């Protein structure tokens, strides 16, 4: 059976809850299972962030004039 795909927000939220649980958990065996699940969630988040970073780079390369205009606007200089 294929794994259910989870989005970044859901994975991050689940990871935050998992960390909170691990901070108070005393059962070592259960902690190891949650630790493994946490690593899986981290991998999901890292993968999605990498995809978004690549997309941003692709957009910047596609519209270099727009990127230059944004940097000029931030510095307050007029073209």
Q: Could you tell me which of 35, 16, 15 has the C-alpha nearest to residue 25?
A: 35
State the average pLDDT over residues 5-33: 92
Domains of the chain in start order, with CATH, are: 8-75 (1.10.287)
Report whether pLDDT(26) > 60.
yes
* Structure token pair of residue 40: 């899986």
Q: What is the pLDDT of residues 44-67, one digit of tens each?
A: 999 999 999 999 999 989 988 877
More reliable by pLDDT, 68 or 76: 68
């Amino acid at each position: 059976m294929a794994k259910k795909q989870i989005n970044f927000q859901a994975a991050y939220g689940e990871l935050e809850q998992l960390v909170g649980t691990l901070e108070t958990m005393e059962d070592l065996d259960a902690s190891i299972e949650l630790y493994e699940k946490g690593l899986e969630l981290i991998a999901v988040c890292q993968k999605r962030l990498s995809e978004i970073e690549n997309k941003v780079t692709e957009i910047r390369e596609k519209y270099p004039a727009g990127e230059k205009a944004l940097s000029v606007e931030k510095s307050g200089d007029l073209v």
